[in-house]
Amino acid sequence: MVKKTVMTLCLLSLFYMARNDPQNESDVDSEQCSNTQEEREHLYTGLQNSPQTCSKTLRRKARDLKSEDHLIKSFGDWSFATDQVLLQTFPIDPERRNYVRQVRDAIFSVVEPTPFHTRVKLVAASDEVLQGILDLHPDVVHEEMFQAFVSGNTILYGSTPLSHRYGGHQFASWAGQLGDGRAVMLGEYVNRNGERWELQLKGSGLTPYSRRGDGRAVLRSSVREFLCSEAMYHLGIPTSRAATLIVSDDPVIRDQFYNGQPKKERGAVVLRLAKSWFRIGSLEILAANQETHLLRQLVDFVIKQYFTDIYETLGEGDRYLTFFSDVVSQTAEMIALWQSVGFAHGVCNTDNFSLLSITIDYGPFGFMDSYNPEFVPNTSDDTGMYSYENQPDVGLFNLDKLREALTPLLTEQQRFQMTKILQLYPDIYKTKYMEILRRKMGLLGEEEDDGMIVAVLFKMMTDTKADFTMTFRQLSELSLHQLENATVPSHLWAIRTLQPHEYFTRWLQVYAQRLRLQNKDSDEERKARMDSVNPQYVLRNWMAESAIRKAEKDNFSEVKLLLRVLQNPFVKQEEAEEQGYGSPPPEWAKELRVSCSS
């Protein structure tokens, strides 16, 4: 339904054309701004005199330095919140033995992480997460106790680790009980800003929900999840976060492409964080098993905890409707943001869709290189159900499953109203997506032909296989004069890919005419706006693969480099350019494949 919009706009545009033809781990400064002891005073007082290219980074560093006194410098002084709300609120599975089973009348099972047998190594850590969320000084990563904690080799005194029970629709079919098959929630932490975060280890061993799995994750997939969590955050997309990545020498057997050729890989674990890990499947399993009392308790908790305004101002029935309406709107916006950066999640099952509309569970995802609406990053997705162009419609499907899960809590009238709310989703999505596209193209206000201008650009990108990320990025570098005269400098390789297209010259002229309507909008102002929303860097599969190959040989330098670069994706960076991150992808990138095996 939703995906057809672009095609419709393309057809309209073709008619129009025929008619009118003639940014070391603690220093994430992408511009190599220094942070020596000598300059600390300057960071406090001399920001105005800093080079403009470094000003954003320097402000951030100054803020971090000012708050350094509040950071915990020894991990032994750090602890979870005294009130563990999830543990105190919900019924816990009474069975404490750790074996695969069906669980009923519980939201969580108590599960301790399985320690690694071999020595662990810290691959990388996000100083931003450590300092900004966990109140930890970055030096704690070198402490043995900290590394034991983030690897699952030890748990803190008084901690009760939990694995979550949920269900879900996988590839549109009900899969029954799923749950945290290789994840353990270590506890809740409330930081100095009053934010409550749930800390979870992914790849920490068997749980009651492991089904036929071993509960482990391999280095390959863990590098991808660690980097993409942070990359998406810095792209401005709601997401879970990643604090650390640990690798061991424990052997983990994986058949990566399900072709009968399993191989030995290294076990790894990511410490990831979210305000909540509840997902649509969290409610589905309760509705499917007619555990209505627990369903109501969980929905009420989610609303009270994360949708406070709704809880405080509305009665029970209206709360559920307004909660659903908010999730519909927020999910539409999340997917519009995915589409705007060429991101395909890969496994858009209802168990992977957050009730808080944040991106979670990074598996066989991918950022497009050449623009292809049918892009499918997951080789396990034989039918292309979760292709890039299908994601908006999949969002609608998943929200409908949320509606069904909420049904037992509603009156007949409320059920009817919820159906009407869901019908608003396509228009909400289209409106949000078009708003983002206008920003990406530097358009101010709204004009009738904006949809046509965007649609024809996508048509040309499809036909010429132009690079998605760099086409939008380099578009900002064309002055109005260059647009009107169809002059494209040689270094704008992505734009030059479009040049042979029969619509190119005319499209540039129409685009320039639209920009002319923006009185007193200079080329420089437009470029600044566009560069602030069109990234120079995204986590392309080939970039992640290059880092993975080095990491498998205990060379973690590129993982750390990518973390630095992706923390400043809108800033052109010398070290990134030297690695070719802003250049056309290498030929071998076309052969890369990712799958659900991780």
So which residues are the catalytic ones?
351
Q: Enumerate the β-bridge partners of residue 279.
A: 354
CA distances 190 to 179, 194, 288, 493, 558, Å, are 25, 6, 33, 47, 32
Q: Which of 325, 375, 397 is nearest to 592 (CA)?
A: 375
Structure tokens at 474: 């380099």
**Cα 221 to the center of its chain, rounded Å:** 15
User: Beta strands of 467-520 (E only): which ranges?
Assistant: none
All residues at 6 or more sequence positions from 77 whose CB lies less than 8 Å from its CB, including other chains: none
- Tokens 């307004």 label which residue? 322
Structure tokens at 596: 């659900």
Structure tokens at 516: 């002319």
CA–CA separation, 429 and 443 (whole Å): 19
Please report which helix (H) or strand (E) contains residue 123, including its range. Answer: strand 121-125
Residue 597: count other Cβ atoms within 10 Å of its Cβ. Answer: 18
* Segment 139-147 long-range contacts (CB within 8 Å, at least 24 positions apart): 139/73, 140/72, 140/73, 140/74, 140/75, 140/78, 141/25, 141/244, 143/74, 143/75, 145/75, 145/76, 146/75, 147/120, 147/122, 147/246
Please report which helix (H) or strand (E) contains residue 367, including its range. Answer: strand 366-367
Number of H helices, E strands in the chain: 23, 12
CA–CA separation, 299 and 67 (whole Å): 37
* Segment 41-48 long-range contacts (CB within 8 Å, at least 24 positions apart): none
State the virtual CA torsion across 345, 349, 355, 361 in degrees, nearest 10: -50
CA distances 287 to 167, 213, 350, 404, Å, are 10, 26, 14, 8
Q: Are 243 and 125 in contact (CB under 8 A)?
A: yes
Q: Which of 207, 159, 165, 166 is nearest to 183 (CA)?
A: 207
CA–CA separation, 350 and 172 (whole Å): 9
Q: Are 333 and 354 in contact (CB under 8 A)?
A: no
Strand bridging mode 162-164 / 241-254: unpaired
User: Beta strands of 142-288 (E only): which ranges?
Assistant: 162-164, 167-170, 173-177, 183-190, 196-202, 217-218, 241-254, 263-274
Buried b (16+ CB within 10 A) or exposed e, 172-195: eeebebbbbbbbbbbbbbebeeee
Burial of 513 (0-12, 13-18, 19+ CB in 10 A): middle
Strand bridging mode 217-218 / 173-177: unpaired
Positive or negative torsion for Cα 434, 437, 443, 448: negative
